[in-house]
Structure 1
Amino acid sequence: MAEVRVLELADLASLNKLQPQCFDPPWSQDMLRARLLHPRCLNLGIFCDGDLQGFVLLSYLLDEAEVLQVGVAPQYQRSGLARLLLTHALVQLARMGIERLMLEVRASNQPALGLYRALGFIEDGRRRGYYPTATGHEDAVLMSVRPGG
């Protein structure tokens, strides 16, 4: 059975192991440690039998929050774990009084765009040529949702 809970410093080794499987380039262990210790961050992990299978890292200030990263182990992608993580995050953010959750995603990442739209995110705009690619650059799609709304 999967358990979603707040990530703690004791989870750093597991997060440091999983994060490079989800992102290239990965964040350093020091960057991850800083996120886990930051007072204005909400970091959730999804665990099965004690094994970290996915995570969402968010930061917040006043009544706005931003998704910094959502990652799921490759073998568990497309199994609903990211949806479960984000659903839990939206509930917690609403309880905290957060009015708006924002994110950016590569325009080519159709699975993520579909998930975000299914969770109620709307497109707010684009950053043209934001992400570097092997053949040039691609747009970042800017999206937001009202937690609890």
Structure 2
Amino acid sequence: MNGVAALAVEFFPMAVADLEAVTAVEASLQDFPWTRGNFADSLHAGYSAWIASIGGEVIGFSVVMQVLDEAHLLNIGIASQHQGRGFGARLLRQAMTNAAQNGAHWMFLEVRPGNARAVALYRHFGFHEIGRRKDYYPARQGREDALVFQKELPACR
């Protein structure tokens, strides 16, 4: 087992100092990534933004906007070299727990229908499809729909 694999993933609130690393992870994952400005705006707006880190290296992030009892997962990602090891599941679980602790009863998200790994992850965690947003995402050729998922969050007291 190499040294990185032996280290545990840790979660920290995202800070301005993390934005370059977070933006680099996002750019490596998406054809149409969020910009540094998108992440900075999320921090400025007070959204729940977290990083996943292994040995000081940012390997992932999540951004959740919460309004009253509804949380909306705006963005989540794990660097491709760290995918398939359960880190995305842990980051999603952490985002849901934080939202529930902050009074959210529901979490919503959009996902590309073609992102089979993400769709499977969300379904595994009990999200179910409640709709479709036509032409929601930019795509290499035109636009792509988004599946809208919803999950009731367990009460945290």
TM-score by length of 2: 0.86
* Matches of 1:62 and 1:42, distance apart in 2: 13
| Alignment counterpart, residue 4 of structure 1, candidates 11, 24, 36 | 11
Aligned length: 148
Aligned to 2:3: none
The aligned counterpart of 1:73 is: 79
CA deviation vs aligned residue, 1:80-138 (integer Å, no higher than 9, x gap): 11110010111111111101110011111111111001111011011234334344543
| Residue matched to 2:31 | 24
Matches within 5 A, 1:126-137: 126-137=132-143
**Aligned with 1:122 (options 95, 110, 128):** 128
* Aligned Cα root-mean-square deviation (Å): 1.6
Distance 2:60 2:148 in 1: 22
Superposed CA offset, 1:23-52 (max 9, x none): 22222222211112222x111111000000
Q: Secondary structure at the match of 2:129?
A: strand
Q: Which runs of 5+ in 1 are unaligned?
A: none
Are residues 23 and 134 of structure 1, via their aligned partners in 2, closer, same or farther at CA, if it must alter by over 3 Å?
closer
Residue pair 2:106, 2:152 contacting (<8 A) in 1 also: yes
Query: C-alpha displacement at 1:21, in angstroms?
Result: 0.9
1:87 aligned partner = 93
Does residue 33 (structure 1) correspond to residue 44 (structure 2)? The answer is: no
Q: Which residue of 2 aligns with 1:14?
A: 21
Please identify, of 126-135 and 62-71, the stretch whose mean Cα deviation from structure 2 is larger: 126-135
Q: Percent of pairs identical after alignment?
A: 32
Aligned to 2:5: none
